[in-house]
A and B are shown apart, each in its own frame.
Chain A
Amino acid sequence: MEITNQEFKHCDLIKVTGRVDSSTAPEFTKALEKTTNDNRFKIALDMSELEYMSSAGFRALLATQRNCKRYNRGELVLVKVPARVREALELAGFTELFKTFDDPLEAVGNF
């Protein structure tokens, strides 16, 4: 798993690649927390090169969404969710908790 962060004026575009499971989820969580700890709560997560995500990753998404949406200060949106990951998110009932975009720039422009 690798994470890169691109800071825009109004939001952060975070890209996660590879596999997020119980082994890598703590690092994924830390990267998201680093952004929210900087009081940056508008986050677009680029998942285009994400190969795999288990419920350990879903947990990080949920915690971040909860944190971002508190006091209406922002939101976590998902970008280019791969089919397999999307199916698992749907099964978990998560798709209704996140806006999704097919294009990173469109996601960034949403903020």
Chain B
Amino acid sequence: MTTFPAKFEYLDEIRDYIAEAARRSGFTDKEIYSLQLAADEAASNIIEHAYEGITNGSIDLSCDMREDVFTIIMRDEGKKFDPSKVKLPNLKADLSERQIGGLGVYLMRKLMDDVRYETSGKSNTLTMIKRKG
């Protein structure tokens, strides 16, 4: 597990961390990009929403590969922010009606096989799963 400051400037390092773990787990470049994007969207939401108004928050990040299942776990101690409660954007809407809110969560769900959110005490845990192959 590695702890990152909950600041947008650290998204680069979070993506590097994911890329390294995914590469070790044998994912292709295309899959690695998808995992990085899903993790970036998740971390961005934590920084923007869970830690809204808080400048010294942190995100605990870990990756694990077991039996061809890659698991990304992000833990924070901010406000509850359940991505599954976010209203998804209407992707069929035309330009003037198109909403951008919820797009990050939508991408997370499309890019990963499963996205789960749990809260216990002060700590929020986001678990994202990608099956290999």
Contacts and interface: CB of A to CB of B under 8 A. Distances in A.
Nearest to A54: B40
A92 B107 contact: yes
A55 B100 contact: yes
Interface residues of B, number: 29
B92 interface: yes
A62 interface: yes
B83 interface: no
Given A23-B12, A91-B111, 15 more contacts: A19-B12, A21-B8, A22-B40, A52-B15, A54-B37, A54-B104, A59-B103, A62-B100, A63-B100, A69-B95, A84-B29, A84-B33, A92-B103, A92-B107, A97-B95
Interface residues of A, number: 23
Interface of A: 19, 21-23, 52, 54-56, 58-59, 62-63, 65-66, 69, 83-84, 87-88, 91-93, 97
Contacts of B44: 21-22, 54-56
